[in-house]
Every structure is written in structure tokens, then in C-alpha cells.
Structure 1
């Protein structure tokens, strides 16, 4: 049965997923925001932009392993329950992220340091893929119908909030130790801070109850033999493919902010210091959090599909002007201009993510929801995860004269436009989901066909 009111268990579920999703973004931001520092520590000397590309490429390669985690832990979440799944994923995510602090440097072991970095990133990717596979359904299945849009936005906003917290922590480390101190030793302490978030999430999850909707699946004895494989069988295959197109565009949206706004602000013709660039980026992530919450809440009244279609069109129109404003402000040392651009980019790229937890949960049946949400979410990575190749290719072969040789602002804007087109197509092909029941009444015979 679905919850009828906002209870203490609902609150725990929301806080648990907010923190878990925050940890994912916190770890990501640690890598992408100080890419120049990581490159200096783990790689041989290179030009600044090439070094940043190397770190971003290593990160995106490990993102490709998120679908593996979604497949493993999504299937497990549909078999053993969401709660137990979430305890495993938060332990793996916290420990893997913290292990980055133990890496040897390039000066100590040569290129082996970067190879070990990639291996750790793969582990983080696998557990992160499992985190939202079980976590989003868990929170949504504890949320009453009328609160779903708002709670979805809050949960998804945890990702942007994690980026903001990470950037703020990095700013504090730079202020205390300086960039040289960060490169010498403080980067290790920086990565250890992920344990604080992981332990907090683990404590909450150990006190949670399983969702009433999964309990209902167990009581009705409609647990599927192979929930993950059922995604690729009729009649669910079309739903999965529609979600995949949509999520591919959403990942282009995400990395237009998280991967490339710091890169744009940190490389010439930008004249900002690393600390200033980091501070400007922080405000963009604050705006992203607000955008996700507001978008999720409004979708409960306007509709997930309609709101996203309008937003995708507006984003395609504004993409180039707003990224030009960002690089213009960075070039003439105008913090206000760059700040406005960062805030707008945060809102337009992350607002639509506010419906992802609820939209994906409403698209898949309870008996296959963890698999559908997890792998549906991660399916956008198959094409979207190679953003670190698309932008350099556009920069080097199409738009170098517009970007300038040392920056990628125009190529990033084009990436966002492509994302907006895919998001629009994906949502157009799918149904409106507001009001969908999360409980399942599928006959046992149909479930066990898989």
C-alpha cells in the first residue's frame, strides 16, 4: 500500500537519499573542481588544458561503469529489498571515495599512480550506480502522492547541494593551505572528508524500515525471477528505450555544468584565480539545487512532460548567450557577470533533474522498479558519459577559433543544445506520469513470464 501521509519513516527515507546522492556529487566535484591539482599530483607535466582533459577523461571512463552498478544493485534491490541494498552501496561508495587519499603520487611510482586512480574511480562508479538504483525508489515509495514532485526535487537537489558543499570545502582548504599546500599534501585530507557524509548516511539507513510498497510485492509474491532482464523484454523494452534517449540528454545537461563550468573559469582567457573560479562555481551549484527543488514542485501541477518540453526549448535558445556571458565575465575580470552566468547555467541545466527520482519511479512497476530506475538512469551514460571526448573533439576540429585555443565555452554550449534536443525528444515520446500509482497489481503469472 502507498503511504497516505508524511511520516517519520518518510522523513528518514528522504534524508537518507538526499545524503547518499549528495555524497555521489561531493566525490565528483572533488575530482572535477581541482582537476589541475590532481593532474599535477598524478600525471607527468602537461599543458594546463590537456592536463584537465586527462583528469576529466579518466573520470568519464569510470562513469561508464555506473550502469554495471545499476544492473547489479538494481536487480538486487528488486530481489532482497531497497533498504539492505542501500546499506551495501553507501559502505562501498564511502570507502572507495576515501581510498583516493591513499594514492601514491606520480613522483613516487610514475604512471601507476594514475592507473590506480582510474581503478578507484571504477569502484566508485559501480557503487554510485547502485546508490540511485535502490535509493530513488526507496524515497519515492515512502512519499505520499501529493508530495512526490517536491520531494523528488529535494532529493535530486542533493546532487547539486553536494557539489556546493564540496566546492565550499575545497575553497576552505585552498584558503588554509594554498594551492601549493593542496598539491603537496592537503589533497589527501580533502578526499578523506567523504567519510563524514558516508558515516552519517549509514547511521540513518541502519534505523530505516523497508518500504511498504516492496513489502506489498513480497506479500503478493510477485518478486520477479530476473527483474533486470525484464527491462529488455516486451512490453517494457519500449519504455526503457524512451527513458534512455531522455537520460542521454539529461547527462549532457549535467556535465555542461559540473564538468565544464569549472574548466571554463580556470583556463585563459579567464583571468580568475583557482579560488575565485571555485567560488563562482559554488553559486552555480546553489542555484542548481534551488532549480531542481522548484522544478520538481511545479511538475506536480503542470505535469512532468509538459514542463520538461518547455524547458528544453528555452534551454536550446539560451545556451550560447549564457556561456558567452560566462567567458566574457571571466575574460574582463567581472565577477558579477560570471556569477550571473554561473547561476543561470546552474538553474537551466539542473532544474529538469528535479523530476528524475519521481519520473523514473512512475515509469516502472514496483517489482522491477530498482532495476528500471537504476539502469534507466544509467542508460544515459552509454552516450552521455563520453562528454569528455565530445567537447575536446568539437573544440579541436569545429569550434577552436570561437572557443579560443585555451578554452571550451562554445563547445560546451553546443553540448548543452544537443542535450536539450535529446531531452525534448525523450519526453515527447513518453507519457505524462503525474498521478501514477506506485503499487503493483500485476498477476503472478505475468510477472513470472520473465
Structure 2
């Protein structure tokens, strides 16, 4: 049965996934926010922009391994339950993220430093892919129906909140030690802070109960032998492919903020210091959190499908003007208008993510939900995860005359427009899920 009212178990499930998703974003944002610092620490001296792209590319290689984590832990979550899965993933994610702080530098071991960095990112990617496979269904299966949209937005907002927290922490370390101090040693302390949210999330998860929806699956003897493989069989294959198209566009949305707003603010002709750029970017992540909560709550009344299609159309129209505002503001050093642009980008790119936990949970049956949510979420990475290649290629061969030699504002706007097209088409091809029951009432096929 599904919960009818909020309980302490509902609250624990929501807080647990908020913190777990926060940790995921916190780690990723650390990489993107101080990419110029890591480029100097882990790579040989070369073009600053090219070195930064190399760090962002390693970020892409990291998220490419998320589907593997989703496949492993999603399948496990449908077999043994969501709770046990989540305890394993948060321990792995926290330790792997903190391990970054122990890496040797290029000055110490040469290119081996960057190779080790990539290997650590692979571990992070595997555990992160497992984190939302069981975590999103766990939280949504504990949430009463009328609160699904709001809670979905709040949980997904944990990603933006983690990004904002990371930007603040980076700003604090830069303020205390200066850019030189961060480059020399304090970057290690920055990554070590990832242990804090991991410990809190683990403490909460150890006190949680399994969801009533999964208990119902066990009671009805609906546990599948191969829940992950069932995603690619009829009649579920078409559902998975529709979700994959939609999520590809959503990843273009996400990294139009998280990957390239910092790059636009930190490279010429921007005249902002690294600390100022981090502050402006953090405003965008605060707005992203608010946008996700608002979008999720509104979808409970307007509908997931209808709201997303309308939003995609508006995003396509506004993409170039908003990024042009960000670029020109950075060029002249106008803090106020750059902050406004960052806030607007945060809202338009991250608002639609507010429905992801509940939309994906409603798209897949309870007996295959962890696999469906996890791998469906991660499937957008197969094409969308290579944004760190698409934007440099567009910059170099298509839009260099519009961009500047060291800035990618127009190419990023085009990436977001492509994302809007994919998101709109992806939702159009799928059903409206508002009103779907999370309990599996019929025998599995």
C-alpha cells in the first residue's frame, strides 16, 4: 500500500535522499568550480582553456560510468530492497569523493596524477549512479500522493543545493587561503569536506525502514529474476527509449549551467576574479534549487507532461539572449546583471529537473522501478554526457567568430537549445503520468 499521510519514515526517506543527492552534486561541482585549479595541479602547463576542458572531459568520463552503477545497484534495489542499496552507495560515494584529496600532483608523479584522478572519478560515477537508482524510488514510495510533486522538486533540488554549497565552500577556502594557497595545498581540504554529508546521510539511512511499496512487491511475489534486463523487453522497451530521449535533453539542460556558466565567468574576456565568478555562479545554483521545487509543485496541478513541453518551448526562445547577457556582463564586470543572468539560467535549466524523481518513478512498475529510474536517468548520459566534447567542437568549428577565442557563451546557448528540442519531443512522445499509482496492482508480464 502507498502512504496516505506524512510520517517520521516519510521524513527520513526525504531527508536521506536530499542529502544523498546533495553529496553527488557537491562532489561534481567541486570538479567544475575549481577546474582551473585542478588543471594546474594535475596537468602540465599549457593553454588554460584547453587544460580546463581536459578536467571537464574527465568529468564526462566520470558520468559515463554512472549507467554501470545504475545497472548494478538498480537491479540490486529491485531484488533485495531500496534501503540496503542506499547504505552501500552512500558509503562508497562519500569515501570515493574524499579520496580525491589524497591524490599526488603532476609535479610529484607526472601524468600519473591525472590518470589516478580519472580512476577515482570512475569510482564516484559508479556509486553515484547507484545512489539515485534506489534513492529516488525510496523517497517517492514513502511520499503521500498529494505531496509527490513538491517532494520530488525538493529532492531533486538537493542537487542544486549541493552545487550551491560546493560553490560557497570553494569561495570560503579561496577567501582564507587565496588562489595560490588553494592551488598549492588547500584543494585537498575542499574535497575532504565531502565526508560530512556522507556521514549524515549514512546516520539517517541506518534508522530507516524499507518502503511499503517494496514490501508489497515481496508480499505479492512480484520480485523479478532480472529486473534490469526486463527494461529492454516488450512491452517496456518503448517506455525506456522514450525516457532515454527525454533524459538526453535534460542532461544538456543541466550542464548548460553546471559545466559552462563557471567557464564563461572564469575565462576572458570576463574580468571577474575566480572568487567573484564563484559567487555569481552560486546565485544560479540557489535559483536552480528554487526552480526545481517550484516546477515539481506546479506539476502536481498542471501535469508533468504539459508543463515540461511549455517550459521547453520557452527555453528554446530565451537561450541565446540569456547567455549573451551573462557574457557581456562578465566582459564589462557588471556584477549585478551577471548575477541576474546566472539566476535566470539556474531557473530555466534546472526547473524541469524538479519532476524527475516522481516522473521516472511513475513511468516504471514497482518490481523494476529501481532499475528503471536509475538506468532511465543515466541513459541520458550516453549522448548527453559528452557535452564537454560538443561545446568545444561547436566553439572551434562552427561558432568561433561569435564566441571569443577563450569563451564559449554562444556554443553553450546552442547546447541548451538542442536540449530544449529533445526534452520537448521526449515528453510529447510519452504519457501524462500524474495520477499513476506506485503500487504494482497487476501481475507482472
Q: Is the shorter-chain TM-score for this pair beyond 0.5, marking a shared fold?
A: yes
What is residue 377 of structure 1 aligned with on the other side?
377
Query: Deviation of residue 47 (structure 1)?
Result: 1.1
In structure 1, C-alpha distance between the alignment counterparts of 2:290 and 2:351, rounded to whole Å: 8
What is residue 252 of structure 2 aligned with on the other side?
252
What is residue 283 of structure 1 aligned with on the other side?
283
What is residue 183 of structure 1 aligned with on the other side?
183
Q: CA RMSD in A?
A: 0.5
In structure 2, C-alpha distance between the alignment counterparts of 1:323 and 1:203, rounded to whole Å: 41
What is residue 339 of structure 1 aligned with on the other side?
339
Q: How does 1:439-450 map to 2 (within 5 A)?
A: 439-443=439-443, 446-447=444-445
What is residue 51 of structure 2 aligned with on the other side?
51
What is residue 120 of structure 2 aligned with on the other side?
120
Query: Deviation of residue 62 (structure 1)?
Result: 1.4
In structure 2, C-alpha distance between the alignment counterparts of 1:442 and 1:380, rounded to whole Å: 29
Query: Deviation of residue 133 (structure 1)?
Result: 0.2
**Residues 3-39 of structure 1: CA deviation (Å, up to 9, x unaligned):** 0001110000000000000000000010000000001
In structure 2, C-alpha distance between the alignment counterparts of 1:102 and 1:340, rounded to whole Å: 37
In structure 2, C-alpha distance between the alignment counterparts of 1:353 and 1:7, rounded to whole Å: 25
Relative to the length of structure 1, the TM-score reads 0.99
Aligned residue for 1:435, secondary structure, equals coil
What is residue 360 of structure 2 aligned with on the other side?
360
What is residue 88 of structure 1 aligned with on the other side?
88
**Residues 209-235 of structure 1: CA deviation (Å, up to 9, x unaligned):** 000000000011110000000000000
1:223 aligns with 2:213: no
1:429 aligns with 2:429: yes
Aligned residue for 1:403, secondary structure, equals coil
What is residue 408 of structure 1 aligned with on the other side?
408
Q: How does 1:293-372 map to 2 (within 5 A)?
A: 293-372=293-372
In structure 1, C-alpha distance between the alignment counterparts of 2:383 and 2:99, rounded to whole Å: 28
In structure 2, C-alpha distance between the alignment counterparts of 1:86 and 1:371, rounded to whole Å: 14
In structure 2, C-alpha distance between the alignment counterparts of 1:132 and 1:62, rounded to whole Å: 16
In structure 2, C-alpha distance between the alignment counterparts of 1:292 and 1:317, rounded to whole Å: 20
Count the aligned residue pairs.
445
Aligned residue for 1:431, secondary structure, equals coil
In structure 1, C-alpha distance between the alignment counterparts of 2:324 and 2:86, rounded to whole Å: 41
In structure 2, C-alpha distance between the alignment counterparts of 1:441 and 1:276, rounded to whole Å: 54
In structure 1, C-alpha distance between the alignment counterparts of 2:404 and 2:207, rounded to whole Å: 54
* Structure 1, unaligned runs of 5 or more: none
1:133 aligns with 2:140: no
Aligned residue for 2:401, secondary structure, equals helix
**Residues 349-371 of structure 1: CA deviation (Å, up to 9, x unaligned):** 00000000000000000000000
1:207 aligns with 2:180: no
**Residues 279-308 of structure 1: CA deviation (Å, up to 9, x unaligned):** 000000000000000000000000000000
What is residue 40 of structure 1 aligned with on the other side?
40
Q: Once superposed, which parts of structure 1, at least 4 consecutive aligned residues long, lie more than 4 Å away? A: none
In structure 2, C-alpha distance between the alignment counterparts of 1:49 and 1:37, rounded to whole Å: 12
Aligned residue for 2:402, secondary structure, equals helix
What is residue 151 of structure 2 aligned with on the other side?
151
What is residue 98 of structure 2 aligned with on the other side?
98
Query: Deviation of residue 442 (structure 1)?
Result: 2.6
Query: Deviation of residue 377 (structure 1)?
Result: 0.1
What is residue 171 of structure 1 aligned with on the other side?
171
**Residues 97-118 of structure 1: CA deviation (Å, up to 9, x unaligned):** 0000000000000000000000
**Residues 39-66 of structure 1: CA deviation (Å, up to 9, x unaligned):** 1000000111111100000110111000
